[in-house]
A and B are shown apart, each in its own frame.
Chain A
Amino acid sequence: MPEATSAESDIALRTGGRARRPNSVGLRRLNILVGALSLPLFIGLWELVSRSGTVNMVLFPPPTVVAAAVLEWIRSGQFFSDLLASLFRVTTGFIVGGALGILLGILTGQFPVISSLLSPLFHILRPIPPIAFVPIVILWFGLSEAGKLFLVVWGVFFTVWLSTHIGVQKVDRGLIRAALMLGTPRRQMLQEIVLLGALPYIVVGLRTAVSISFYTLVAAELAGAFAGIVYRIEIAQQNLQTGQVMGGLAALGLISFIADRLFAALAERIVWWR
């Protein structure tokens, strides 16, 4: 689970990370070329090793077999229903967990009484890995969608709550004093200063929560589902369709990557003054 410090260092990394200077144009071109060759080289090597006979092709199928399995997955129409089921869980869980996290983070960050009431509880629950809740979630919710949402919401909530809480507390006191001197009423301080001051922290928390929502999705779908990317991986594993398993992993990685990049692009717009 990410700690307070990881949210902070994330911010520091974002502001100071783009100062790489290539020695020369030639070296930069070489790097681009090597970068472009990276994936084809890796896939080619994989294909060769798989077909060389030194490994079991059923357990370690070559990329061509994986590709064929993925094509079949798409052609059967199951891919899109699996994708939709997984995306629905991740998105709904992320939105609900994120909204709850932001709301409670503002409350505990802003009002010491609420913080005294809730923070001890949250700090005890937060370190428990969400996967550990699978058994009790099955008891409570059976194999229903509610149980899966619960797991994703649970995972997202604590990360977003903590980063919001810290963000609200770390709002520059100088800005608040300046706002007070300019006649900002205390009851308007939240909307005028605190929310925007905490926004960079909230956004970092939300971005961490994007990957956490995929991570909890795995637990949620392994706990028993009727559709979903991870569900399909599990079914394929039971049928010894290793190509399909690998295709599922690749799909999961790709979706998670796209989600992270989309959120990063969105974050730049949310924190517009940076």
Chain B
Amino acid sequence: MKLALASSPASDESARKQPAIQVSNLSIVFDTKGGQVIAVDRVSFDVAPGEFVCIAGPSGCGKSTVLNTIAGLEVPFEGEILVEGAPVYSPRPDVGMVFQQPHLFPWKSVRRNIAHGPRMLGKSTTEAYAIADDLIAMVGLKRFADAYPNTLSGGMQQRVAIARALANQPRVLLMDEPFGALDAQTRTVMQDNLLALRDRIKATIVFVTHDIDEAIVLADRVLIMSAGPGRILREVAVKLPRPRSSSVLVEPAYHSLKKDCLDVIRAEGLRAFNQSDAN
């Protein structure tokens, strides 16, 4: 049974359906005081509908920039980005985003934070609150529906942020190191929560992290990026069975995957080191 689930929906359906996200030849150049810096260099990848892709790489490799561009928050860029077949120029409600910081509206209660999106899309307050209450139950914060963000722990705030992003029922959910600011224990719990949540929502997820363990636990596929300029070094398919939890960390299959990833990262690190040495 587990093995049947192991073949992710991605590999079967991607042949028939159009990809949820198509990134082709994406390049992003920043103007800085020291001149132009190529943050992202000709990055191309597709994400199948329902697939969970992690982009992993060191800080400063442009992985967050790639995510912001898919979100429509980063312009201008070169290349093409299609989400559900349509080009992206600005934020759209069918693309949800969870940032590294929760960025909750401090003047709104948990319920009203989550209801914000539906309200902005023209839902009545009653409808928006009903959606919010469903999501509050889903992320296990029923007792805190009327609490203000500054009374919640970091992990709870990030759960609200995830619920808020899901309130508009996005086709694509972008997550930018959402657990990066949490302590290790909370992070593991949040990863398990996200895996459970993922089985209930249909969204395609692109998740950025610098933590290889996190990437392997969560993803169907890991894209490993290098820094300066940001490129995709390698794609690693994660064929670990689903439903999954953070306990896969102790399985032998996990270790060989992690070794694959680390080999790529180590080779790249060595190359970058030698290069800087030569300069």
- A residues with a Cβ closer than 8 A to B are 172, 174-175, 177-185, 188, 192-193, 196, 199, 272-274
Digit string of B99-122 for contact with A (CB within 8 Å is 1, else 0)?
101011111100000001100110
Write out the residue numbers on chain B whose beta carbons fall within 8 Å of the beta carbon of A178: 97, 99, 103-105, 161, 164
B150:A273 contact, CB within 8 angstroms? yes
Between B93, B101, B120, the greatest number of chain A beta carbons within 10 A of the residue's beta carbon is seen for B120
Q: Determine if B217 is an interface residue (Cβ-Cβ < 8 Å).
A: no
- Interface residues in B65-101 by Cβ distance below 8 A to A read 71, 73, 90-93, 95-97, 99, 101
16 sampled A-B residue pairs with Cβ under 8 A = A177-B73, A178-B99, A178-B103, A180-B73, A180-B90, A181-B71, A181-B73, A181-B97, A182-B117, A182-B165, A182-B167, A183-B120, A184-B116, A192-B116, A196-B107, A274-B150
Cα(A272)–Cα(B103), bound, Å: 18
A174:B120 contact, CB within 8 angstroms? no
A180:B106 contact, CB within 8 angstroms? no
Shortest distance from the beta carbon of B28 to any chain A beta carbon, whole Å: 17
B105:A175 contact, CB within 8 angstroms? yes
- Interface residues in B118-148 by Cβ distance below 8 A to A read 120-121, 148
- Interface residues in B160-179 by Cβ distance below 8 A to A read 161, 164-165, 167-168
- B residues with a Cβ closer than 8 A to A are 71, 73, 90-93, 95-97, 99, 101, 103-108, 116-117, 120-121, 148-150, 161, 164-165, 167-168
**A185 and B97 contact, Cβ closer than 8 Å, known pairs A193-B105, A273-B107:** no
Cα(A178)–Cα(B167), bound, Å: 13
User: A interface, by DSSP: helix, strand, loop or mixed?
Assistant: helix
Cα(A192)–Cα(B117), bound, Å: 12
**A272 and B107 contact, Cβ closer than 8 Å, known pairs A174-B99, A183-B168:** yes
**A273 and B117 contact, Cβ closer than 8 Å, known pairs A177-B73, A181-B71, A181-B96:** no
Choice from A177, A185, A199, A272 contacting B120 with Cβ under 8 Å: A185
**A182 and B120 contact, Cβ closer than 8 Å, known pairs A175-B103, A196-B107, A274-B150:** yes
Cα(A183)–Cα(B128), bound, Å: 14
A183:B121 contact, CB within 8 angstroms? yes
A181:B165 contact, CB within 8 angstroms? yes
Write out the residue numbers on chain A whose beta carbons fall within 8 Å of the beta carbon of B120: 179, 182-185, 188, 192
Closest A residue, CB atoms, query B108: A273
Shortest distance from the beta carbon of A18 to any chain B beta carbon, whole Å: 15
Counted as pairs of residues, one from A and one from B, with CB atoms less than 8 Å apart, the total is 64
B168:A182 contact, CB within 8 angstroms? yes
A182:B148 contact, CB within 8 angstroms? no
Cα(A273)–Cα(B104), bound, Å: 12
Cα(A174)–Cα(B161), bound, Å: 12
Cα(A55)–Cα(B101), bound, Å: 66
Known A-B contacts: A177-B103, A180-B90, A183-B91. Give 14 more (CB < 8 A): A172-B103, A174-B101, A174-B103, A177-B97, A181-B91, A182-B117, A182-B168, A183-B93, A185-B120, A188-B120, A192-B116, A192-B120, A272-B107, A273-B149
9 tightest CB-CB pairs across the interface, nearest first? A182-B117, A183-B93, A174-B103, A178-B103, A181-B97, A183-B120, A180-B91, A273-B107, A196-B107
Write out the residue numbers on chain B whose beta carbons fall within 8 Å of the beta carbon of A274: 150
Closest B residue, CB atoms, query A271: B107
Write out the residue numbers on chain A whose beta carbons fall within 8 Å of the beta carbon of B161: 178
Write out the residue numbers on chain A whose beta carbons fall within 8 Å of the beta carbon of B99: 174, 177-178
Cα(A180)–Cα(B91), bound, Å: 6
Closest A residue, CB atoms, query B150: A273
Cα(A174)–Cα(B73), bound, Å: 11
Between A175, A181, A274, the greatest number of chain B beta carbons within 10 A of the residue's beta carbon is seen for A181
Cα(A199)–Cα(B105), bound, Å: 13
Write out the residue numbers on chain B whose beta carbons fall within 8 Å of the beta carbon of A193: 105
Shortest distance from the beta carbon of A219 to any chain B beta carbon, whole Å: 38
Write out the residue numbers on chain A whose beta carbons fall within 8 Å of the beta carbon of B106: 273
Cα(A185)–Cα(B168), bound, Å: 14
Write out the residue numbers on chain A whose beta carbons fall within 8 Å of the beta carbon of B73: 177, 180-181
Write out the residue numbers on chain A whose beta carbons fall within 8 Å of the beta carbon of B107: 196, 199, 272-273
B103:A273 contact, CB within 8 angstroms? no
